[in-house]
Each structure stands twice: as structure tokens, then as C-alpha cells.
Amino acid sequence: MSLKEILFQIGLRKIKKDRWREWGDGKIRGFLRSTQEGVDSPSRQKIREILGQFPGATLLDAACGPAVELEGYRKYGTQVDYTGMDATQKMIDYARSLFPGQKFRLGDITRIDQEEGSYDVVLARHIFEHLPHYREALVECHRVARKAVIVNFFIELNSSREDIITTRGTDYYNNCYSRSLFEEFLEETLKVSSFENFRNLGPSVFSENEIYFMCK
């Protein structure tokens, strides 16, 4: 592990657990809507660019939060049949209040209650770092996707052969995963037909955003 990665791990251990399930409406309203994280952020622009390859596709936004992605699709005319899913009821309630009649559902990305191939594309944005590990969730995203999966990391993958697992408590993580191990998982376990990696997509709280776009 490099010195940079060691210091990163130490820094993450000082972060207080963010209990978003306890947030009020005001905090949810502003969540991910800053200039850095909002609809015009480079990572969201790249996601919309990728989705342009699948006009009219059914899309599962598998950790939709307060529906900032959908806000961007509406603003820029991204043509998808959108379903938002989140594990937090308050996020779903707020998203529904913003977009009445839109499809939102409560759900767990590690156990998606849908049949295989239910959606053309599945998006997992800024969620894998908050899980004990990405494997279970990525298998589920791959299972319910017919054509492609898009993964947006907000913590840039590291250059070692070690996943840096950082937690406070039992259910909040800020992990920094190994790039080589992640790509091996795509190729050897999921056996994706191809994948692309896009880096340096604007800063998040911790590091540069990056995206993996994989086709089945």
C-alpha cells in the first residue's frame, strides 16, 4: 500500500458516521445538489453521455437518493424509462414529492427484488463505497441488467492489491477498493463482454470521481 493510500485510510477513520436515515427534509433537499455534486457535475454528465447509447432504455437507478439523476435527465432530455430505488424511506418519500407519478421503490441493492434482466441498464452511483464490499451488490446489478451496468465511484480506486475497508460502527463504510481486484471481478466472476473506465470526472468529498461502464 502506498503512503498516499495509508494516509487516506487514516483520514477516513476520523469521519463521523453520517446517519442519513435521521436527516430532516432540509438536509435531504440539499443533498447532492451542490455545484460539485449536482446535475452539472462531470460524473453526471458522463453518465448521461453513456445513456445516450441506449435511447428509451429502462433504467434502474439503484441508489437514487433524492433523485438528482432524474432531475438531470429531465433538464437535458435524456431519454430513459426511469425507476429509482433507495434503501432509505425518507429519500424515496422526498423523491416522490419532487416527481409525482414517477416510479420509485424502496429496495436493497444487495438483494434487488426483481427478476433477471428486468432493466436494460442499471446505475450504481456513489454506493459501493458505503457497503461492506461491492461484490454482492454488483452481482445483483449485473443480474437484473439486460445490456449494461454503470458504476460511479466517488472514492478513486487504489493501485494496490488490497481493498481498504474503513468503517465506523456496523453499517457505514467509506471503502477504497483495489482497481486490479475490481477489474478481475468484472472479467473472471461476472464475465462481462467489455468494460470502459473513465477517470478524473471532477472532485467528490474524498477524491476524483471515476466510472466503469460494462456491457453484458
CATH number (3.40.50.1000, 3.40.50.150, 3.30.465.10, 3.40.109.10) of 3-215 reads 3.40.50.150
Among left, alpha and beta (phi > 0; psi -120 to 50; other), residue 98 is alpha
Contact 193, 216 (CB under 8 A): yes
Q: Please report, for the chain, the start and end positions of each structural domain, with discontinuous segments joined by +.
A: 3-215
* Interval 72-110: pLDDT, tens: 999 999 999 999 999 988 889 999 999 999 999 999 999
8 A C-beta contact, residue 157 and residue 180: no
Per-residue model confidence (pLDDT) at position 10: 40
pLDDT band at residue 7, thresholds of 50, 70 and 90? Answer: very low
What pLDDT score does 172 carry? 76
Predicted local confidence at residue 50, as pLDDT: 98
Name which of 6-10, 21-25, 35-39, 162-166 the model is least confident about.
6-10
Do the beta carbons of residue 140 and residue 128 sit within 8 Å? no
pTM of the model: 0.86
**Residues of the chain above pLDDT 90, percent:** 70
By CB atoms closer than 10 A (0-12, 13-18, 19+), residue 45 is middle
Residue 129 sits at the vertex; the CA angle it makes with 140 and 6, to the nearest 5 degrees, is: 140
State how far the Cα of 36 lies from the Cα of 74, in Å rounded to an integer. 19
Lowest mean pLDDT among 17-26, 97-106, 150-159, 170-179: 17-26
- pLDDT attached to residue 1: 46
CA atoms within 13 A on the CB side of 150: 29
Q: What is the model's pLDDT at position 37?
A: 74
